[in-house]
Structure 1
Amino acid sequence: MQPPDHPADARHDVAIIGGGLVGASLAIALDRIGRHVALVEAAPPGALPAVFDERNLSFAEATVHGLRALGVLQKLRAPAGAIRRIHVSRQGDFGRVVLDAKEHGREAFGQVVVARDFGQALEARLSECTRVTRYRPMRFEGSDPGDGARTLRLRDADGQEKTIAARLLVGADGTRSGVRESLGIGADERDFGQTLFVARVRAERAPDGTAYERFGPDGPTALLPRGDGHFGVVHGVARADADAVAALDDAAWLARIQAAFGWRVGRLLATGPRSAYPIVQVVARALVADRAAIVGNAAQTLHPIGAQGFNLGLRDALTLAELIEGHDDPGNATLLGEHARRREDDRNATLQFSGGLATLTAGDDATLRPLRSLGFAAVARLPALRAHLVGGALGYRGDVPRLCRGDA
């Protein structure tokens, strides 16, 4: 039986602000190890957060392991799409990179799951948690450090204030994190000048397990193999063109994707609704503070190229949960310092990969074409370089949390 909302005894081991992908996953991981959790959510009961829309999430193998250990993937009602091959190319450049999971002893690199379906699976799993108290709909107003805990100030939809206490505050509240700001943690921003459109498309040829990423001067165009026989399309455009692209009718939209992507899956026949998101990288200058930590997009919001964002955020969450499992006090300064240390290599490598790839593949500078073509050739021929890319695609960078290695 799940604990009642808003109990009179409002002291918790951990308070998580944000019930999206990473925040909900962390709550489940902490419930699993017997910690009492407050999950503060903006969405009311019965409604999914806005992040659970038609976006297509690419789960690396490490993420699949972690979510299966948490009992979340078992709750999916819609089929996931296996990523058995990764095909990378760029308009106007010679060469391509094709990675095949079987060549590396795997059935698949990961899975594609629709964000809405994943949100429903998380909700189903949360309903089974016995130590998660959900405060919703509520906004985080701030927190004050105290003796062994933080006092959190919350406000409900009617404007009524509530205070709760937690030995650890975790900000999982997205790119414009109120927790990060309240802790005085600064962030560095990089606007890529691009807008990303996502949708569902149907093609002449059904998905066969290949995830395509086609780079162009204004950003990437990816076709991801969904489990429902459609492709998830991700299409980057220059910010100045975003309004015009949003206004296209379905036929013109499909023609634009066809021109950017090519004919590898035949003619594109139909599309679902489009959503648009500006691409801005936001990187926090610290991951921890006094009895506080930030994870997921609150810690780093990446360029979506290579589909690294949620995978990195889940590794944030599961690393923190793993450390908390071994300590009596989840807000202990030594624990939080160890969390920041363990996340450093993975975080830096993933930021360098996504940001560097976005810079190298964007623009239309002809002088870069030979360099990019040489890069494609090197990946195709050098086993060590291919192995490095495969490790990243599988989600194994830096100090990987135990559950992501498949150790339940």
Structure 2
Amino acid sequence: MSPPDPVPQSPASPASPPAPAASETMHDVLIVGGGLVGASLAIALDRLGHKIGLDVGLLEAAPAGALPAVFDQRNLSLAEASVHALRALDVLPRLRAPSGAIARIHISRDGDFGRVLLNARDYGRDAFGQVVVARDFGEALEAKLADLPRLVRHRPARFTGFAADGGDGLRRARIATDDGERLIAARLVVAADGTASAVRDALGIAVERHDYGQTLFVARARAERAPDGTAWERFTDHGPTAVLPRGDGHYGTIHGVAADEADAVAALDDAAYLDRLQRAFGWRAGRLLSVGPRSAYPIVRVLAERLVAPRAAVIGNAAQTLHPIGAQGFNLGLRDALTLVECIDAAHARGEDIGGDAVLAAYAQRRRDDRERTLAFSDGLARLTSNTAPLLSPLRSLGLFAIDHDAALRALLVGGAMGYRGDVPQLCRSPSCRGAAA
């Protein structure tokens, strides 16, 4: 991937915020999008705001009392780095439902010999990460957001575009509410509004798309054997099948099918779907006994060509929507958010404009290595494991065998799976490491 585009230079502006017009609302930072990453950013910025007096606004499409649609029955695999951060942000302690620890990871492919088995205890850990249900996680985020009196929540509201640049060091976002359209001025606008980001489009940031020709079906399932901490990833010609240990005694299942088969799979009754899932996954958890409601998601990779524009940053799925193989998406987006917070904090300490070009250039540079390596891992694994070329089967088998028998290769795989790639934000490190770094 080529280096991030340089930040287009904007006129110099003071570190203190300019005064908005009388009819405007003013924030230091306006976050557009209250989903997984946007809400996490709001919480992290509020934590910083207590130290530096930051005024943060969060623009949310969902009305008060309702969760965004993204908080459904999907299963989120939180890498260890994300677990550290979300505990420090007081989100994970607010989970009402138990999470499922990932103590072991088992990787194999249908038709290929060999497998990779990773055990957290071999790396001095009880778990590589945790599995949470998106809805449970959304409720924990909402509980934390509700305890932030400094945060200004604009909801329900929708971003409709930007007003003309007034040359005063502010971005002005047009938002539509039940009371009509109005302007919100901010020193920095953050696009956290998902794959089809309206903010990213309004900033003129182009995207690169790749359709994997796959649809993923997500559902919880119950099996003869209860979860024991093992997360299985089973690859096939048509996509991955993952079976994850939830904390409620069920498994979180993800089943990939060719896009042209998706309608037929969606039409299967529960018994027929369970039979298909059993054939794809095997008998590692015994017989699959029941399955909950299914949701289907076409898989398309969407990459923003740059992460910044004057007085704007792009994070989470608005910056990159990945194939869910390897469970990298939310973990990568959370690291986007936490890195941006650190860049804002550093700029404030230097007396610089928190929405200025230097902050944005630092953010883009710090995210480069982690983003490129995670994208390469996710996309490469998705393409390699679904390629049906006969010559690739023995090569994949040898690759699995090599990883399973080479400690250095396993360590690289484990480090990435736990979220330790590139420039790791402080909150993603263990409390003992954060203390030593401080």
Normalising by structure 2, we get a TM-score of 0.90
Indicate the SS of the match to 1:273.
Answer: coil
Alignment of structure 1 residues 72-221 onto 2, 5 Å: 72-144=91-163, 145-146=165-166, 147-157=168-178, 160-221=180-241
Corresponding residue number in structure 2 for 1:28: 43
The answer to whether structure 1 residue 403 and structure 2 residue 423 are counterparts is: no
Residue 276 of structure 1 deviates from its aligned partner by 0.5
Q: How does 1:198-347 map to 2 (within 5 A)?
A: 198-328=218-348, 329-347=353-371
Distance 1:9 1:191 in 2: 41
Give the whole-Å Cα distance in 1 for the aligned partners of 2:58 and 2:71.
17
Equivalent residue for 2:380, pick from 331, 353, 356: 356
1:18–1:42 contact (8 Å) kept in structure 2: yes
Structure 1 position 381, deviation (Å) = 1.4
Are the aligned partners of 1:305 and 1:358 in contact in 2 as well (CA < 8 Å)?
yes
Shift of 1:104: 0.6
Instruction: Find runs of 4+ consecutive structure 1 residues off by over 3 angstroms.
Output: none
1:378 aligns with: 402
> Which residue does the alignment assign to 2:390?
366
AA paired with 1:306? Answer: G
Identity of aligned residues (%): 67
DSSP 3-state at the match of 2:391:
helix
**Structure 2 residue 77 is the aligned partner of structure 1 residue 58:** yes
CA distance in 2, matches of 1:12, 1:87: 47
Which amino acid is the alignment partner of residue 326 of structure 1?
A
The amino acid that maps onto 1:291 is R
- Residue type of the alignment partner of 2:42: A
Q: Return the offset for 1:327.
A: 2.0
Aligned residues: 401
What's the CA shift for 1:363? Answer: 3.3
Read off the aligned partner of 1:70 and give its amino acid letter.
L
In structure 2, C-alpha distance between the alignment counterparts of 1:348 and 1:103, rounded to whole Å: 28
Q: Residue 6 of structure 2 aligns with which residue?
A: none
- Aligned-pair Cα RMSD in Å: 1.2
Q: What secondary structure does 1:77 align onto?
A: coil
State the one-letter code of the partner of 2:26. Answer: R
Q: Does 1:10 align with 2:44?
A: no
Distance (whole Å) between structure 2 residues aligned to residue 47 and residue 178 of structure 1: 21
Gaps of 5+ in 1: 1-6
Q: Distance in 1 between matches of 2:413 and 2:233?
A: 14
8 Å Cα contact 1:205/1:265 also seen in 2: yes
> 1:233 offset after TM fit, Å?
0.2
Assess if the C-alpha contact under 8 Å between 2:24 and 2:182 holds in 1: no
Supply the AA of the counterpart residue of 1:132: L
Give the distance between the partners of 2:406 and 2:379, measured in 1 at CA. 23
Residues 31, 130 of structure 1: 8 Å contact kept: no
Q: Which runs of 5+ in 2 are unaligned?
A: 1-21
CA distance in structure 2 between the partners assigned to 1:93 and 1:64 by the alignment: 33
Residue 8 of structure 1 deviates from its aligned partner by 8.1
In the alignment, the residues of structure 2 paired with residue 131 and residue 389 of structure 1 have an alpha-carbon distance, to the nearest angstrom, of: 40
Shift of 1:9: 6.9
- Counterpart of 1:162, as a letter, is R
| Aligned residue number for residue 49 of structure 1 | 68
CA distance in 2, matches of 1:332, 1:392: 31
Instruction: Give TM-score scaled by structure 1 length.
Output: 0.97
CA contact (8 A) 2:70 2:134 kept: yes
Counterpart residue type for residue 12 of structure 1: H
CA distance in 1, matches of 2:89, 2:170: 27
Q: Is the 8 A contact 2:24 2:183 kept in 1?
A: no
For residue 364 of structure 1, report the CA deviation from its aligned partner: 2.4
Residue identity matched to 1:378: A
**Offset of residue 130 of structure 1:** 2.1
Q: Deviations over 1:166-189 (max 9, x none)?
A: 100000000010011000000100
Equivalent in the alignment of 1:3: none
- Give the whole-Å Cα distance in 2 for the aligned partners of 1:278 and 1:387: 32
Paired with 2:337 and 2:269, the residues of 1 have a C-alpha distance of 40
2:39 alignment partner AA: A
Q: Shift of residue 330 of structure 1?
A: 2.0
Secondary structure (helix, strand or coil) at the match of 2:421 reads coil
Supply the AA of the counterpart residue of 2:142: E
Distance 2:119 2:28 in 1: 44
Task: Report deviation, 1:124.
Answer: 0.2
- Any conservation in 1 of the 2:24–2:185 contact (CA below 8 Å)? no
Shift in Å, 1:157: 4.0
CA contact (8 A) 1:14 1:166 kept: yes
